[in-house]
């Protein structure tokens, strides 16, 4: 299933990802913390996908995308 990761490495990675999520989104929620503690790689993918959708140029204005993200969080 991949390379084994020690508990300390996983905790450090989760902390780093949470700091990035909080910095990028500007607020802190419980669900990213729980997800990062259990699977930091997946949380990083979810965050990257969210940030890509938010900042990608498209039909919807950024403000509308932000409102959608708020409702999903």
Structure tokens at 12: 């450090």
On the question of pLDDT at 73 being above 70, the answer is no
pTM: 0.70
What would the pLDDT profile of 8-64 be if each residue is shown by its tens digit?
A: 899 999 999 999 999 988 878 898 899 999 999 999 999 998 888 888 888 888 889
Residue 3: which pLDDT band, with cuts at 50, 70 and 90? Answer: low
> Is-contact 69 54, C-beta < 8 A?
yes
> Is-contact 36 43, C-beta < 8 A?
yes
Structure tokens at 34: 């729980």
pLDDT for position 4: 59
């Amino acid at each position: 299933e991949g390379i084994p990761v020690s508990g300390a490495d996983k905790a450090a990675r989760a902390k780093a990802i949470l700091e990035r999520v909080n910095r990028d989104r500007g607020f802190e929620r419980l669900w990213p913390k729980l997800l990062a503690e259990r699977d930091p790689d997946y949380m990083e993918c979810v965050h990257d996908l969210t940030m890509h959708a938010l900042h990608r140029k498209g039909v919807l204005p950024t403000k509308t995308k932000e409102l959608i993200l708020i409702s999903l969080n």
